[in-house]
């Protein structure tokens, strides 16, 4: 049995930040499914939103966040996060993150502006902020003597007091599968932190990495934690549609420079949906594309910027131009096949301002958590900010606690299971889940579609749980089990919201209610 003072499941910005803040005082273990840099944080292109300019103000950032959140952002949480933004960024600067400087050659950092923001407040490292931040922090984590990193390990489930017969419901650690050997290890910890990211892979099309399978949300729910606002799944309107191009975004700037959205026969359709056409807000464009695809039974639409000169496209969109060309698409002569793609999980495990969940000694940070910051729709570049602020809050709470007495935990019992006879069950169920979630629980919803999805999820749940009970666990099985559980929470939440608000648009309930209330699901109910 391994033992740590704090076990962190996940290695994104939230997990690495917390590890560094604890490592001088504790033994820390980090469990990550693949390599240390394979999470969604490293894919973040934009930057980190914070009030860093004298022309900006905390009140304006708070207002912008609440406006984007459709009236559902928790006001106390929003202020808590925004007020700590500058300190969070300064901590990263102190770690050595190479943020972009102003073009005038001075010492000031360049701040950019994104959709929904009233001021320039996005500090960034060119167009690859997440990668720069993650590389900087991972180097420090790997060199710290108090941090143990377990790569290619995936958590099976949390170990709680209730599961081992104790009267107190607390988290004592986790069972973790070593994907290389197939062995399940028992890890004991005074504190366990879920920092596993979101659940983008529950959908057929997503900008998320393959690791985003809702693991932390599902494990927390099974342990007894409440979840909130799981119906709010953020979609990006234009993701490259290609069998060999995983999660490749086509920037909104392409539309900003005159790109036109067209049907397969070359007909424009955005003017039918909004007077701003291709320059309408992200959610409107995504809903319009979704509508046309469903109405016509087509796999994608096309973004055409071929009227611009090749020299212009190479200068303004070098990455997109090169990536598409590598896939046989010359964007100076051909339209780009695109689909909307799931981008960010706004809901998650309910936490307080110290990042505590409903279970004693169990924390959740980053996209896994529902802090109340994002409400019904996340404001651009608030996600990395949330990771930093709540990692710091969790660190302070953990370091202020007394240590628990060491416990001997039961080892993983494999005495009644065998090797799986047919792995096709997993791959088939994985594909079926992602397709019907896309068709029935996507950008535009109806009660009938949601009920169809719920019926299929229940059948998959039974089949997967039977498989889980009878066969040795594998990474694919664990991810599928978590995806089905997370999908069920999304559908339950969507069925419970009888209005359209933010990212949740229902054709049966198109109006927005006067009072904004969170959707809360309780496993004990």
The mean pLDDT of 37-46, rounded to a whole number, is 69
pLDDT tens, position by position, 402-455 = 877 778 888 888 878 888 776 778 888 989 999 999 999 999 999 999 999 999
Whether 121 maps to a domain, the answer reads yes
Q: At residue 370, does pLDDT exceed 90?
A: yes
Note the pTM of the prediction, 2 decimals. 0.90
- pLDDT grade for 44, boundaries at 50, 70 and 90: low
Q: Report the pLDDT value the prediction gives residue 39, as an integer from 0 to 100.
A: 73
Identify any residues that bridge with 261 across adjacent strands, giving them in sequence order.
303
Based on the fold, state whether residues 306 and 432 are members of the same structural domain: no
Whether 417 maps to a domain, the answer reads no
Q: At residue 277, does pLDDT exceed 90?
A: no
Based on the fold, state whether residues 109 and 141 are members of the same structural domain: yes
Based on the fold, state whether residues 242 and 145 are members of the same structural domain: no
Q: CA 125, CA 195: separation in Å to the nearest integer?
A: 23
CATH of the domain at 504: 1.20.58.100
Whether 176 maps to a domain, the answer reads yes
The residue with greater pLDDT, 258 or 451, is 451
Whether 290 maps to a domain, the answer reads yes
CATH of the domain at 252: 3.90.700.10
Q: Report the pLDDT value the prediction gives residue 122, as an integer from 0 to 100.
A: 84
The values of phi and psi at residue 296, to 5°, are -100, -5
- pLDDT grade for 153, boundaries at 50, 70 and 90: very high
Based on the fold, state whether residues 157 and 36 are members of the same structural domain: yes
How does the average pLDDT of the chain come out, rounded?
91
Based on the fold, state whether residues 226 and 239 are members of the same structural domain: no
pLDDT tens, position by position, 122-133 = 888 876 777 888
Catalytic residue selected from 282, 378, 481, 501: 282
Whether 312 maps to a domain, the answer reads yes
Q: CA 385, CA 85: separation in Å to the nearest integer?
A: 7
Based on the fold, state whether residues 98 and 163 are members of the same structural domain: yes
Q: At residue 105, does pLDDT exceed 90?
A: no
Based on the fold, state whether residues 257 and 299 are members of the same structural domain: yes
- pLDDT grade for 276, boundaries at 50, 70 and 90: confident
Counting Cβ atoms within 10 Å, is residue 24 exposed (0-12), middle (13-18) or buried (19+)? exposed
Whether 250 maps to a domain, the answer reads yes
Q: Which domain holds residue 333?
A: 235-341
* Pair of tokens at residue 304: 């055409």
CATH of the domain at 41: 3.50.50.60
Q: Report the pLDDT value the prediction gives residue 303, as an integer from 0 to 100.
A: 96
Q: Report the pLDDT value the prediction gives residue 525, as an integer from 0 to 100.
A: 86
Sort strands 184-194 and 336-345 into parallel, antiparallel or unpaired: unpaired
Q: Report the pLDDT value the prediction gives residue 312, as an integer from 0 to 100.
A: 86
- Catalytic-residue membership of 268: no
Based on the fold, state whether residues 361 and 324 are members of the same structural domain: no
Tell me the DSSP string of 30-96: EE-SS-TT-SGGGG--S-EE---STT--HHHHHHHHHHHTTT-S-HHHHHHHHHTHHHHHHHHHHHT
As for how many domains the chain has, the answer is 3
The mean pLDDT of 2-30, rounded to a whole number, is 96
By C-alpha distance, which of 498, 442, 486, 422 is closest to 460?
A: 486
Q: CA separation (Å) from 77 to 9, 351, 378, 456, 521?
A: 24, 10, 14, 36, 20
Query: Considering only 35-44, 267-276, 387-396, which range has the smallest mean pLDDT?
Result: 35-44
- pLDDT grade for 99, boundaries at 50, 70 and 90: confident
Whether 408 maps to a domain, the answer reads no
Whether 167 maps to a domain, the answer reads yes
Which residue carries 């109806």 as its tokens? Answer: 446
Query: Considering only 293-302, 341-350, 409-418, which range has the smallest mean pLDDT?
Result: 409-418
The residue with greater pLDDT, 279 or 399, is 399
Based on the fold, state whether residues 209 and 351 are members of the same structural domain: yes
Q: Report the pLDDT value the prediction gives residue 163, as an integer from 0 to 100.
A: 84
By C-alpha distance, which of 90, 335, 347, 57 is closest to 225?
A: 347
* Pair of tokens at residue 251: 């920037």
The mean pLDDT of 173-198, rounded to a whole number, is 95
Based on the fold, state whether residues 350 and 492 are members of the same structural domain: no
Based on the fold, state whether residues 119 and 83 are members of the same structural domain: yes
The residue with greater pLDDT, 301 or 279, is 301
Based on the fold, state whether residues 317 and 430 are members of the same structural domain: no
Q: Report the pLDDT value the prediction gives residue 45, as an integer from 0 to 100.
A: 63
Q: Report the pLDDT value the prediction gives residue 236, as an integer from 0 to 100.
A: 86
- pLDDT grade for 225, boundaries at 50, 70 and 90: very high
Quick one: three-class SS letters along 211-260? CCCCHHHHHHHHHCCCEECCCCEEEEEEEECCCCCCCCECCCHHHHCCCE
- pLDDT grade for 363, boundaries at 50, 70 and 90: very high
């Amino acid at each position: 049995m391994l033992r740590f003072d704090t076990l962190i499941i996940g290695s994104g910005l939230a997990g690495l930040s917390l590890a560094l803040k604890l490592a001088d005082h504790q033994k820390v273990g980090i469990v990550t499914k693949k390599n240390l840099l394979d999470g969604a944080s490293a894919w973040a292109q934009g930057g980190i939103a914070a009030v860093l300019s004298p022309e900006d103000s905390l009140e304006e950032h708070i207002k912008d966040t609440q406006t984007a959140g459709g009236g559902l952002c928790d006001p106390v949480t929003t202020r808590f996060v925004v007020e700590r933004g500058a300190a969070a960024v300064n901590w990263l600067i102190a770690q050595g993150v190479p943020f972009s400087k102003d073009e005038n050659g001075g010492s000031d950092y360049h701040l950019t502006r994104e959709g929904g923001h009233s001021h320039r407040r996005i500090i960034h490292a060119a167009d690859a902020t997440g990668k720069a931040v993650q590389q900087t922090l991972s180097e420090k984590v790997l060199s710290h003597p108090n941090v143990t990193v377990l790569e290619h390990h995936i958590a099976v489930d949390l170990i709680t007091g209730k599961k081992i017969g104790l009267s107190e419901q607390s988290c004592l650690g986790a069972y973790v599968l070593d994907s290389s050997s197939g062995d399940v290890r028992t890890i004991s910890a005074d504190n366990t932190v879920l920092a596993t990211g979101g659940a983008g892979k529950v959908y057929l099309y997503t900008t998320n990495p393959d690791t985003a399978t809702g693991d932390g949300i599902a494990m927390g729910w099974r342990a007894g934690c409440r979840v909130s606002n799981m119906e709010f799944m953020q979609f990006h309107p234009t993701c490259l549609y290609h069998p060999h191009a995983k999660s490749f975004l086509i920037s909104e700037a392409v539309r900003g420079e005159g790109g036109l959205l067209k049907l397969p026969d070359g007909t424009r359709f955005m003017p039918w949906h909004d007077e701003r056409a291709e320059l309408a807000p992200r959610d409107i464009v995504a809903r319009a594309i979704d509508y046309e695809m469903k109405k016509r039974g087509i796999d994608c639409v096309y973004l055409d910027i071929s009227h611009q000169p090749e020299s212009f496209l190479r200068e303004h969109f070098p990455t997109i131009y090169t990536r598409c060309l590598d896939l046989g698409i010359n964007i100076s002569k051909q339209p780009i096949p695109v689909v909307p793609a799931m981008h960010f999980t706004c809901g998650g495990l309910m936490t307080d301002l110290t990042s505590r969940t409903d279970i004693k000694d169990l924390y959740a940070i980053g996209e896994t958590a529902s802090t109340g910051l994002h409400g019904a729709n996340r404001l651009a570049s608030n996600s990395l900010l949330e990771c930093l602020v709540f990692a710091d809050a969790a660190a302070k709470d953990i370091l202020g606690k007394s240590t628990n007495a060491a416990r001997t935990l039961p080892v993983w019992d494999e005495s009644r299971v065998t090797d799986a006879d047919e792995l096709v069950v997993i791959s088939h169920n994985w594909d079926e889940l992602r397709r019907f979630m896309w068709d029935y629980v996507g950008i535009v919803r109806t009660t009938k579609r949601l009920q169809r999805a719920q019926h299929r999820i229940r059948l998959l749940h039974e089949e997967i749980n039977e498989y889980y009970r009878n066969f040795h666990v594998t990474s694919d099985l664990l991810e599928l089990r978590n995806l089905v559980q997370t999908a069920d929470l999304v559908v339950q939440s969507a069925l419970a919201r009888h209005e359209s608000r933010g990212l949740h648009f229902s054709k049966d309930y198109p109006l927005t209610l006067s009072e904004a209330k969170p959707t809360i699901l309780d496993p004990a109910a």
